[in-house]
Amino acid sequence: MNEILNGLIQAIELIVKCDPEVMSITLRTLEITFTSTLIGVLIAIPIGGLIYFKNFTGKRSLVNLIQTLYSLPTVLVGLLVFLLISNEGPLGNFQLLFTPGGMIQGQTILILPIITGFTITGLYGVKSEIKDLALSLGASDFQTIHTLMKEAKYALYAAVILGFGRAISEVGVALMIGGNIRGFTRVITTTMSLETAKGNLELSIALGIILLGISLLINLALNHFQEK
């Protein structure tokens, strides 16, 4: 009990004093996660739009598959990306293993299904009359998708936030692909796992509080958009 309390007090001290290690790990984590979310959004939202708009055989199965992949195990993505970008893998030439780039790749793959899936459901949430209305007013396919996305914008914000939340809280990809290199690929979750193993509880607790804070902000934002 004393240990927890002491850890907590020291952790708060670390945060309040803006401990350089805590700050640099937090910043790096945000940097990596923002980048993977950004790339994820740039890929997933257009693809989600395309899947929603186009009619093709196997569409329902594809959407089901995407929804199944929401809970894609992070270690599986870690393994997949490891095999892809390892020196002997097909993308070995990029030399991405044990780099933030590799982590971004893994996290992006991890969150693509979530953002794509929620984009599709978001678009289906828009009344079908809106699509007809846009078409009847002379919108091209592209303009129609754009209009629908504008109508579904709060659902899309929620999709992005969920993707970000999943990326920032995962540890499998970060550890397997990033290698937890100090000052380079060490992020909040991997540091917590390592420092707990090393018995440095105060650093783990400090980072845990920050991660919790970020999750809280994410959830507040999500609730804000869902109420709209």
Partner 1 sequence: MSELKIENINKLYDGKLILEDINLIIKKGTSLGIIGPTGCGKTTLLRIVDQIEMPSQGKIYYNNIEISKSKNIIRDYRRKIGMVFQKPVVFKGTVLENIEYGLKIRGIDTNSTQPKIKELLRSLGLEGYEHRKASTLSGGETQRIALARALIIEPEILILDEPTANLDPLSTEKIEYMIDEIRKKNKTTIIMATHNLIQGQCLCDEIAIINNRIQQIGKPEEIFRKPENIFVAEFVGTKNIIKGNAQKIEDNLTLIRIEDINVYSTSSIEGNVYMSIRPEDITISRSKTIITGLNNLNGYVKGFLDIGTFIKVDVDVGEIFTIYLTRKTFFDLQISLESNIWLQFKASSVNVFK
Partner 2 sequence: MKKNWKIISILLVLIIGIIAIGAYTFTGGNSGKQTLKIATTTSLEDTGLLEELETVFEKKYPNIDVQFIATGTGQALEYGKKGDVDLVMVHSKKQEEQFVTEGYGTQRYPFAYNYFYIVGPVNDPAKINGTNATTAFKNIHIKGSANPNKVKFTSRGDNSGTNIREITLWNATGADYNTIIRNQTWYLESGKGMGDTLTIADQKSAYSLSDSGTFLAFEGKIKLVPFVTQGKELLNIYSLIPENPQKFPKVNKDAGMKWVDFILSSEGQGIVENYGKDKYGQQLFIPLSGKPEPNK
37, 105, 147, 191: residue in contact with partner 2 (rule CB under 8 A): 105
- For residue 14, CA distances in Å to 28, 42, 54, 194 come to 17, 36, 52, 18
Q: Which does 96 bind (CB under 5 to 8 A by kind): partner 1, partner 2, none?
A: partner 2
| 38-97 residues near partner 2, rule: CB under 8 A | 39, 42-43, 47, 56-58, 62, 84-88, 91, 94-97
| 36-75 residues near partner 1, rule: CB under 8 A | none
| 88-147 residues near partner 1, rule: CB under 8 A | 127, 129-130, 132-141, 143, 147
76, 181, 216, 220: residue in contact with partner 2 (rule CB under 8 A): 181
Name the token pair of 120.
Answer: 């599709």
DSSP one-letter code for 117: H
Q: Residue type at 132?
A: D
Residue 43 or 135: which CB sits closer to partner 2? 43
Name the token pair of 204.
Answer: 């783990």
CA 30 to chain centre: 11
Q: How far apart are CA 54 and CA 136, in angstroms?
A: 18
Q: How far apart are the first and last CA of the chain?
A: 43
Does 151 contact partner 1 by CB under 8 A? yes
Name the token pair of 196.
Answer: 């707990």
Q: How big is the CA angle at 191 (ends 186 and 193), to the nearest 5 degrees?
A: 135
Q: Which does 97 bind (CB under 5 to 8 A by kind): partner 2, partner 1, none?
A: partner 2
Which residues of the chain form contacts with partner 2 (CB under 8 A)?
35, 39, 42-43, 47, 56-58, 62, 84-88, 91, 94-102, 104-105, 108-109, 112, 179-182, 184-185, 194, 197-199
Which residues of the chain form contacts with partner 1 (CB under 8 A)?
127, 129-130, 132-141, 143, 147, 150-151
